[in-house]
Structure 1
Amino acid sequence: MTRPIDLDTQRFKEIVRGKVRDGLKKYITQGEILGRQGREVVSIPIPNLDIPRFRHGSKGSGGVGQGEGEAGQPVGQGGDQEGGLAQPGDQEGQHIREAELTLDELADMLGSELELPLITPKGDSTLKTKKLRYNSIRQTGPKSLRHFKRTYKRALRRLIATGGYDPLTPVVIPTHEDERFRSSSEVVLPHANAAVIYMMDVSGSMTDDQKQIVRTESFWIDTWLRSQYDGLQRRYIVHDAVAHEVDEDTFYRTRESGGTRISSAYTMAQKIIDRDFPPADWNIYCFQFSDGDNWGEDNTLCMQKLQNDLIPVCNLFCYGQVESPYGTGDYLRELKKIVSRFENLILSEIKNREGIYDSIKTFLGKGK
Structure 2
Amino acid sequence: MEQQNNGSQAPANAGGSYDMVERIERDVARFRDIVKGKIRQNLRKFITNTELIGRQGKTVVSIPVPQIEIPHFTYRLRDVGGVGQGEGEEGEILWVEGEEGEGQRGAGFLPGLHPVEVEVTLEELVEMLGEELELPRLEPKSFGQMQSEKPRYKSIRRVGPEALRHFKRTFKQALKRQLLSGTYDPNDPVIIPIHDDIRYRSFEYEPQPESKAVIFFMMDVSGSMGDEQKEIVRITAFWIDQWVRRHYRGVERRYIVHDAAAREVPEDLFYRLRESGGTKISSAYKLCAKLIEEHYPPTEWNIYAFHFSDGDNWEEDDADAFEVLGEKLLPQVNLFGYGQVYSHWGSGRFLYDLADEFEGEFDNLRLTEIRNKDEILDAIRDLLGKRSEDQPNFRQRPRRYRA
TM-score w.r.t. length of structure 2: 0.65
CA contact (8 A) 2:140 2:211 kept: no
Task: Give the Cα–Cα distance (whole angstroms) in 2 for the partners of residues 39 and 295 of structure 1.
Answer: 41
Q: 1:29 to 1:298 in 2, by over 3 A?
A: same
Map 1:13-28 to 2 at 5 A.
Answer: 13-28=32-47
Unmatched runs of 5 consecutive residues or more in structure 2: 1-17, 85-92, 152-203, 388-403
CA contact (8 A) 2:64 2:116 kept: yes
CA contact (8 A) 2:145 2:300 kept: no
Map 1:267-306 to 2 at 5 A.
Answer: 267-306=286-325
Q: Say whether residues 1:361 and 2:381 are aligned partners.
A: yes
Among residues 115, 122, 125, which one is paired with 2:134 in the alignment? 115
Per-residue Cα deviation, 1:33-58 (whole angstroms, up to 9, x for no partner): 36425253333332233445676897
Q: Which amino acid aligns with 1:61?
A: G
Q: Tell me the SS of whatever aligns to 2:315.
A: coil
Bigger shift: 320-329 or 339-348? Answer: 339-348
Find the counterpart in structure 1 of residue 15 from structure 2. none
CA contact (8 A) 1:34 1:43 kept: no
Map 1:303-322 to 2 at 5 A.
Answer: 303-322=322-341
Task: Give the Cα–Cα distance (whole angstroms) in 2 for the partners of residues 16 and 104 of structure 1.
Answer: 15
Find the counterpart in structure 1 of residue 116 from structure 2. 97
Task: Give the Cα–Cα distance (whole angstroms) in 1 for the partners of residues 122 and 345 of structure 2.
Answer: 35
Map 1:165-184 to 2 at 5 A.
Answer: none
Q: 1:4 to 1:269 in 2, by over 3 A?
A: same
CA contact (8 A) 1:30 1:353 kept: no
Cα drift, residue 22 of structure 1: 2.7
Task: Give the Cα–Cα distance (whole angstroms) in 1 for the partners of residues 38 and 317 of structure 2.
Answer: 47
Q: Say whether residues 1:352 and 2:351 are aligned partners.
A: no
Q: 1:333 to 1:227 in 2, by over 3 A?
A: same
TM-score w.r.t. length of structure 1: 0.70
CA contact (8 A) 2:144 2:209 kept: no
CA contact (8 A) 2:261 2:283 kept: yes
Task: Give the Cα–Cα distance (whole angstroms) in 2 for the partners of residues 214 and 114 of structure 1.
Answer: 19
Per-residue Cα deviation, 1:282-311 (whole angstroms, up to 9, x for no partner): 111111111011223322221222122211
Find the counterpart in structure 2 of residue 250 from structure 1. 269
Bigger shift: 192-201 or 28-37? Answer: 28-37
Find the counterpart in structure 2 of residue 74 from structure 1. 96
Q: Which amino acid aligns with 2:272?
A: T
Bigger shift: 105-114 or 20-29? Answer: 20-29
Q: Which amino acid aligns with 1:94?
A: L
Per-residue Cα deviation, 1:69-100 (whole angstroms, up to 9, x for no partner): xx94438842689xxx7234322222223333
Cα drift, residue 350 of structure 1: 1.6
Asked which structure has the greater CA Rg, the reply is: 2
CA contact (8 A) 1:205 1:324 kept: yes
Q: Say whether residues 1:61 and 2:82 are aligned partners.
A: yes
CA contact (8 A) 1:288 1:318 kept: yes
Per-residue Cα deviation, 1:313-362 (whole angstroms, up to 9, x for no partner): 11111111111111001212321222133222221112222322222222
Find the counterpart in structure 2 of residue 233 from structure 1. 252
CA contact (8 A) 1:339 1:346 kept: no
Task: Give the Cα–Cα distance (whole angstroms) in 1 for the partners of residues 234 and 114 of structure 2.
Answer: 28
Q: Which amino acid aligns with 2:276?
A: G
CA contact (8 A) 1:35 1:42 kept: no
Q: Tell me the SS of whatever aligns to 1:44.
A: strand
Q: Say whether residues 1:204 and 2:223 are aligned partners.
A: yes
Q: Tell me the SS of whatever aligns to 1:312.
A: coil
Q: 1:54 to 1:236 in 2, by over 3 A?
A: farther
Task: Give the Cα–Cα distance (whole angstroms) in 2 for the partners of residues 359 and 235 of structure 1.
Answer: 21
Unmatched runs of 5 consecutive residues or more in structure 1: 64-70, 133-184
Q: Which amino acid aligns with 2:268?
A: D
Task: Give the Cα–Cα distance (whole angstroms) in 2 for the partners of residues 40 and 126 of structure 1.
Answer: 29
Task: Give the Cα–Cα distance (whole angstroms) in 2 for the partners of residues 237 and 116 of structure 1.
Answer: 26
Q: Tell me the SS of whatever aligns to 2:299.
A: coil
Q: Say whether residues 1:224 and 2:246 are aligned partners.
A: no
Find the counterpart in structure 1 of residue 356 from structure 2. 337
Task: Give the Cα–Cα distance (whole angstroms) in 1 for the partners of residues 295 and 364 of structure 2.
Answer: 21
Task: Give the Cα–Cα distance (whole angstroms) in 1 for the partners of residues 145 and 59 of structure 2.
Answer: 23
Aligned Cα RMSD in Å?
Answer: 3.5
Q: 1:209 to 1:54 in 2, by over 3 A?
A: farther
Cα drift, residue 32 of structure 1: 6.9
Task: Give the Cα–Cα distance (whole angstroms) in 1 for the partners of residues 259 and 141 of structure 2.
Answer: 33
Task: Give the Cα–Cα distance (whole angstroms) in 1 for the partners of residues 227 and 82 of structure 2.
Answer: 58
Cα drift, residue 205 of structure 1: 0.8
Task: Give the Cα–Cα distance (whole angstroms) in 1 for the partners of residues 209 and 269 of structure 2.
Answer: 27
Q: 1:32 to 1:72 in 2, by over 3 A?
A: same
